[in-house]
Amino acid sequence: MRGPGDPVWAPRGSAELDYELEVGALIDTPARDLPEERGEEAIGGFFVLNDWSARDLQRDETTVRLGPAKGKDFATSIGPWLVTPDELVDLRAPGSTGPDLLMTATVRVPDASGARVVETSRGSWSTAQHSFGAMVARASGDVRLRPGDLLGSGTVGGGCLLEIRDGTLGRYLLPGDEVTLEIERLGRLVTPIVARPA
């Protein structure tokens, strides 16, 4: 787990480092077998979450949909704040999966003039396929969720280079890049990309 400003690098054997723009939720109440309509009662707050992926490793691992999943277990970044659910109620329409909050990703890329910033992703939490109530209900089925457990929303549409690389950055992330994920009211999560330490 990494926080704001903590560097991230591609895992051994990977040349396709990618970000994933997500909302994270912190469980603050023990829960088991919660129905969907009560699922969000177990959530104490929301935050920006970057569920990093090594796409080349992930591609190799998911051929038969089994395996060690080394394309996903090397880094997750969260922060910068924890925002309580009551702070977001005013932006949530009845029946929506989440508040109407803008979510963006930008990549600061070094170049001859110093650096340029490329907006690579733009979406809204309200377009999520599933609500956190539904996700908590699913996650708590026959399992006890404990305070401190974290859940990710899944990537917002167009919220990773795998989906939009060719039309935006034209490549995966490289050392020297800096990724900023921003969600209205939840803050900005900035991560420098560095070479893998020896």
Residue 21 contacts by C-beta under 8 Å, 6 or more apart in sequence? 50, 103, 104, 105, 121, 123, 155, 156, 159, 160, 181
In a domain, 167, yes or no: yes
What is the total count of domains within the chain?
1
How does strand 187-192 pair with strand 77-83?
unpaired
Looking at every residue in the chain, the average pLDDT score rounds to 94
Predicted confidence at residue 93, as pLDDT, reads 83
CA-angle at 118, arms to 106 and 91, nearest 5°: 40
Three-state secondary-structure class, residue 50: strand
CA-angle at 164, arms to 172 and 113, nearest 5°: 55
In a domain, 11, yes or no: no
The mean pLDDT value for 57-62 works out to: 82
pLDDT tens digits along 111-154: 988 899 999 999 999 998 899 999 999 999 999 999 999 999 99
Predicted confidence at residue 179, as pLDDT, reads 98
In a domain, 10, yes or no: no
In a domain, 198, yes or no: no
In a domain, 123, yes or no: yes
Q: What is the DSSP letter of 193?
A: B
In a domain, 5, yes or no: no
Predicted confidence at residue 66, as pLDDT, reads 58
In a domain, 2, yes or no: no
CATH number, domain containing residue 127 = 3.90.850.10
- Residue-range definition of the domain harbouring residue 146: 17-192
pLDDT tens digits along 87-110: 999 998 888 889 999 999 999 999
Distance in angstroms (rounded) separating the CA atoms of residues 109 and 114: 9
In DSSP terms, 31 is beta-bridged to 145
**In this model, does residue 68 exceed pLDDT 60?**
no
- Position 188 confidence tier, pLDDT thresholds 50, 70, 90: very high
pLDDT tens digits along 122-133: 999 999 889 999
In a domain, 7, yes or no: no
Q: What is the DSSP letter of 56?
A: H
List the beta strands (DSSP E) in the chain.
17-18, 21-27, 43-50, 53-54, 77-83, 102-111, 114-124, 150-152, 178-183, 187-192
Q: What is the DSSP letter of 29?
A: S
Structure pTM? 0.93
Predicted confidence at residue 78, as pLDDT, reads 98
Distance in angstroms (rounded) separating the CA atoms of residues 71 and 18: 10
